[in-house]
Chains A and B, each alone.
Chain A
Amino acid sequence: MLANLVLHLFILLLFAPLLLGIITKTKAWFAGRVGAPLLQTYYDLNRLWRKGFVFSRTTTWVFLLGPVVGLAVPLLAALMIPFGALPAPVSFEGDLILFVYLFGLSRFFTAAAALDTGSSFEGMGAAREVTFSCLAEPTLLFVLLVLARLSGGLSMNTLLGEHLLASWRSEAGASLTLILVCLFVVLLLECSRIPFDDPTTHLELTMIHEVMVLDHSGPAFGMILYGAALKMMVLGALLVRLAIPWDTGWWLTNSLIFLAGLSVLAVLIGVIESAMARLKLPRVPQVLVGTSLLSIFALVLVLR
């Protein structure tokens, strides 16, 4: 149990920033550039951590709470979700609801911290983030309901348990494919990637997530960056487990397969970012309503 927890945290904390590096490298390759080093995120985190805090006089303690909760939430969420065939260290009946709403909690504090600055940009970003996330929430819940129906349990560990392999081979495979697509869209949105948001843009008026954290700097910004990497790993773990449901029976190979799956996912995100332009902002809710419908359809298929 303890060894499991340590391994889980080790994989999470050590490899999460690598995903961002892989995405950046893929994009650079498509653009014909050498690109930043694979480990750039680690260097950035190190650099940010060594800086001092700078707080605007107009902000309050809420402003610092945003990054802190933003870092703590994915850390907690990660404990409830299996990394590939490695089971989750913390598991109880109904933890899927906690899993979904932990992210809601972090969103609340990030938005509150943004509003705390009083900046019109950040207010706009908070409004966008909240709108889009609440439209993405049904998708995530329906996806989990499909899994709950297939597994007959209500904890993330059971949802993503050994039954997946059999489910893929049964008629439920169609539903699983649908929810895989839905989850991928949710991941792109939640991690503010193209086509929903552009993490590399400098244009405040077009940003969603980035604009909310404009006023953070130093270690606080480091926490945000690290939190974002952890969040991508947690949501990615969901996808990877769904797509690669095998268990080799040895923890080392299981970890390696999991990490390889995550790397492929990161490359995939990089390819999409290179081959696609951003959506016009009013189109984003339409896409999210679409994925909600898809996930409902997937649920109907397994309820039959």
Chain B
Amino acid sequence: MNRAKLISFHHGACVPLTELPCLDFPTFRESLLEEVAGDARIASFFGHPDADGVNLYAVLAHDWQGKLALLHTRVQNSFPSLTPECPQLHLFERELAEQYGLRPEGHPWLKPVRFHQNWIAAADIWGRDPDLHPIPGDMDFYQVAGEEVHEVAVGPVHAGVIEPGHFRFQCHGEKVMNLEISLGFQHRGIEQMLIGGPHPASIYQLEAAAGDTSIGHTIAYSQVLESLSTVEPSPRAYAVRAIALELERLANHVGDIGAMTGDVGYLPTSSFCGRLRGDYLNLMADLCGSRFGRGLVRPGGVQFDLNPELVDKLLQRLSVLETETRGAIELSFDSPSVLARFEGTGVLSIDAAEELGLVGVVARASGLMRDARLHHPLGGRQKLFDAPIIETDGDVFARGNVRRREIYASHRMIREALQSLQSGENRIPLGPLAPDSLAVSLCEGWRGEVVHVGLTDGQGQLARYKIVDPSFHNWAGMTMVLRGEQISDFPLCNKSFNLSYCGFDL
């Protein structure tokens, strides 16, 4: 048994790197596969180069035990790919290949992820010119040949005002045989900009990691720094963060349901939800001055406090909005023509979701109970979370219904949090970060679990910062859903996932 080699810890702990044994690769591989075959899943997997090679760290989540586990190994140039046995690692390994020129031998789908130059002086494994910036989307797409087969290319410039991404469909008539997605058009290099930090600009970069998940990413970042400097924010700060997190969820879920009904041409819900989304964003602006929650969450707590008048105002607005939101949403969920479009469209099986390690709304709609608020709570407020929501059909309806039920749950959670605010400091100053340590932080953003890992060097500065947005896991689920589906249903399936491009591209 290799289990003894595993470092197991609770969320919020700071793990000294000296306590983390460096396993030889076969042991690492065996332990990881054993854990994944059990009840663990990969929360994060990343490399950090030093003089002896590239250190690989795997963060495993044991959801029902509320525990995280760490595995560490070191490799040079290449390593046998784990993807054939553990498909949820497929993108993480492609990422390593792109960042450090490490070749995962036997990877079945070894293509670039974000189309950037190597981070270190290593040979490009695709043999691209090291002096030129790679062109996004420049890769060999999977192709189906045949007289009646046709290829449809969509993007990176789309008809709507959305982010850039390239979609390549292999179709037989109206039926999609395969969809391949190529992203990376918005790669900004956030992870590299954070190295040597925390810099004054870091928090602003994190707020824009995925613009619609500002609260989610800033909470995750703050938790990493708080864990590394062993500072515990006040219960009041935790409560304000929880309120903001649920407000962000409300705005986005309501907007998503509106967009889904808009795609099937159901006008009333689409228009009302568009307006209501704005109302929820305005509540966020009441809280912190920014409709997207920028500037609210800071390491050590929150930057803005709630006074009793604001609490009253929020409660009042919320009760009005709750009735209106229910009306708008129920209208479409009671409408047979809408249900006929949602039900049975874009089915994602629980097996596919589990193998690909999907998270968030998408995983919960396919019957996987994965919610960081339930499994990995941090702070008093979140420990009281009692509204896990799950659907089992895995279709567009299930993804819509998870959102609908989460909206209703969020209304209640915000109300309770506002009514039971404790007094306390809104922000506690951070001390220096512990040197040579590692901290993992999970936060259930509206789309799913946001995972941040911070690694400090001997001076207590960030030597490596790894961000995993839920979209990073879930885009693969999107391609699975389209197999055998009608190409005309792609926009609807896409909306039901509503994944982030910039959260993936970083």
Contact = CB atoms under 8 A, between A and B. Distances in A.
Chains A and B bind each other: yes
Interface string A127-150: 110000000000000000000000
Interface in B141-190: 150-154, 159-160, 173-174
Interface stretch (B33-41, B48-56, B333-341): B333-341
Given A204-B154, A280-B489, A198 B265 contact: yes
Given A32-B271, A124-B487, A278 B150 contact: no
Nearest to B275: A32
10 contacts: A30-B267, A194-B265, A200-B265, A201-B263, A205-B152, A205-B487, A277-B266, A279-B341, A280-B488, A283-B340
Interface residues of B, number: 33
Interface string B469-506: 00000000000000000111111100000000000000
Interface in B169-218: 173-174
Interface of A: 27, 30-33, 120-121, 123-124, 127-128, 194-195, 198, 200-206, 273-283
A132 to B, nearest CB: 12
Interface of B: 150-154, 159-160, 173-174, 261, 263-268, 270-272, 275, 335, 337-338, 340-341, 345, 486-492
A95 B486 CA distance: 40
B338 A206 contact: no
A282 B488 CA distance: 10
B155 to A, nearest CB: 11
Given A203-B491, A205-B487, A277-B265, 18 more contacts: A31-B272, A32-B271, A120-B151, A198-B265, A202-B159, A202-B160, A203-B159, A206-B488, A273-B265, A274-B267, A275-B268, A277-B261, A277-B338, A278-B265, A279-B340, A280-B345, A280-B486, A281-B488
B341 A277 contact: yes
Q: Sorted from nearest, which 8 A-B pairs have the closest CB atoms?
A: A31-B271, A277-B264, A278-B265, A202-B159, A203-B491, A277-B337, A277-B266, A198-B265
B264 A278 contact: yes
Contact of B486 (A127, A202, A281): A281
Given A31-B267, A31-B271, A120-B152, A195 B486 contact: no
A281 B174 CA distance: 9
B268 A274 contact: yes
Contact of A33 (B173, B264, B271, B487): B271
Contacts of B275: 32
Contacts, number: 89
A287 to B, nearest CB: 12
A128 B264 CA distance: 18
Contacts of A276: 265-266, 335, 337
A194 B263 CA distance: 12
Contacts of A200: 265
Contacts of B489: 206, 280-281
A277 B335 contact: yes
A282 B486 contact: yes
B488 A205 contact: yes
B159 A278 contact: no
A120 B266 contact: no
Nearest to A199: B265
Given A203-B263, A281-B174, A31 B488 contact: no
Contacts of B268: 30-32, 274-275
Contact of B267 (A27, A124, A205): A27
Contacts of B341: 277-280
A278 B350 CA distance: 28
A184 B160 CA distance: 31
B391 to A, nearest CB: 20
A121 B151 CA distance: 10
- Tell me which of B152, B267, B491 has the highest count of chain A C-beta atoms within 10 A of its own C-beta: B267
A123 B490 contact: no
A206 B275 CA distance: 25
A27 B271 CA distance: 11
A205 B337 contact: no
Contacts of A283: 340
Contacts of A128: 174
Contacts of B490: 205
A163 B194 CA distance: 83
A121 B335 contact: no
Contacts of B174: 124, 128, 281-282
A282 B340 CA distance: 12
A127 B488 CA distance: 13
